[in-house]
Amino acid sequence: MIRPQVESITLQDHGLWERLRRRRVPLGFDLELTARCNLDCRHCFVNLPAADAAAAARELPAAAVLDLARQAVDLGAVWCTITGGEPLLRPDFAEIYLGLKRLGLLVSVYTNATLVRGEHAALFRRYPPRDIEVTVYGATEETYERITRRPGSFDRFRRGLGLLLNQGIKVRLKAMALRSNLDGMAEIARFCREHTKDFYRFDPLLHLRSDRDPARNAEILSERLSPAEIARAERSDPERFGAMERNCERLIEPRRGDFSLASCLECGERENCEDLEHLSRLFICGAGAASFFIAHNASFRLCASLCAPGMTYDLREGTLKEAWERFAPEIRSRRTGSEALLGACRSCPIVNLCFNCPATADLECDDPEALVPYFCAVAHARLTSLKHECTPGIGRGTDAASE
């Protein structure tokens, strides 16, 4: 019997990634070219008017953008995602895009597609991006423009998307689950899967505004789904819910319920205990571990949403190397003294079903260490949805899935 001499593994299982993680190599970064957008979506946490001259003046020029990208490559970056606002608003978009490609980066582009013209499609055809991600706000004109608040935007979206698809460009479609399009989510899913058969996802998490605008925050809150609605929306999508079922072991960790802050503090071996060290960390997510975010105004962030005071770095005043090698580790090493966070969240077995993190807590409560009841309720509603499939031994909150 001849035994195979070569074994195959998936790319994500290759040992290279773990070695790079231990060395803290920033494999990818998000590049926000502008906060301005030609749409006025009700739920958006960043968009400013397209004609906002003050916002445009804060944007980095192409040369500065490419200099930062060059620094990122020197640190080891391989992937770059161009985002906004709407990045195609920049008249120098092609210059920046080609500059990133010349640096050897695998470039993705996030766009609403309404500004895509023939020259953009030709550019992407000649110099293909890794992919282009387009958000679909509705599958009908009524739903789409209820969210974007721009008459004619649905037709422009369909035209721009058609230009990209007709050129054979890899496009991925996604959606946001909002109050204004909830009744049309099934139709949106069908539309997306018909046009991009290998990819579709929707996001039910609506961030509050990074600029703390109270009027816009009120609009965002009015568009948020209840915890029970989020769980139902996820369960109604077989692909998404199937992925959650398959990942139950990662999403739900019964062992977490076996230890708490109180038990750790009473333990005689606490000085060298990994559990206690993990409990007290403020950041248990991957923000700033293998990627980072550069805002349009040269603000370095561990992730797009983390803009709390003292947790951003001005790249106009320093280097990307300094931000990545000194500043980011300092932020990630912070410990929390919050009794609510330590006592409830850190030993919670369903923390991976929860949206609570320093970034979202700061946007919600002006406190990165806050515990946001809405996110806790969402986690329990998701647990209820998954309970019979993979968590028969874990209880749930009595009012977590309320409307």
What average pLDDT does the chain have? 89
Is the model's pLDDT at 399 over the cut of 50? no
Is the model's pLDDT at 279 over the cut of 80? no
Pair (276, 131) in one structural domain? no
> How deeply is 379 buried, as exposed, middle or buried, from its count of CB atoms within 10 A (0-12, 13-18, 19+)?
buried
pLDDT digits (tens, 9 = 90+) for 197-227: 778 999 999 999 999 999 999 999 999 999 9
Neighbours of 236 (CB within 10 A): 12
pLDDT digits (tens, 9 = 90+) for 47-85: 999 999 999 999 999 999 999 999 999 999 999 999 999
Q: Categorize the per-residue pLDDT at 269 as very low, low, confident or very high, splitting at 50, 70 and 90.
A: low
Residues with Cβ within 8 Å of residue 385, at least 6 apart in sequence = 231, 232, 234, 235, 241
**Which range marks the domain in which residue 204 is found?**
15-213
Tokens representing 262 are 């109180």
Pair (79, 203) in one structural domain? yes
401 inside domain: no
Whole-angstrom distance, CA of residue 30 vs CA of residue 46: 14
What is the per-residue pLDDT for 343? 79
Tell me the β-bridge partners of 135. Answer: 174
Is the model's pLDDT at 17 over the cut of 70? no
Give the range among 47-51, 115-119, 194-198 with minimum mean pLDDT.
Answer: 194-198
Domain count, the chain: 2
Q: Are strands 36-37 and 79-83 parallel, antiparallel or unpaired?
A: unpaired
Give the range among 57-61, 191-195, 260-264 with minimum mean pLDDT.
Answer: 260-264
Share of the chain above pLDDT 90, in %: 73
294 inside domain: no
b/e burial code for range 276-309 (CB count within 10 A of at least 16 → b): beebbebbbbebbbbbbbbbbbbbbbbbbbbbbe
Whole-angstrom distance, CA of residue 182 vs CA of residue 238: 16
CATH number at residue 75: 3.20.20.70
Q: Is the dihedral of CA 46, 50, 51, 54 positive or negative?
A: positive
Pair (196, 251) in one structural domain? no
Predicted TM-score (pTM) of this structure: 0.89
Pair (107, 181) in one structural domain? yes
292 inside domain: no
Q: Among 184, 213, 242, where does a domain finish? A: 213
Is the model's pLDDT at 152 over the cut of 90? yes
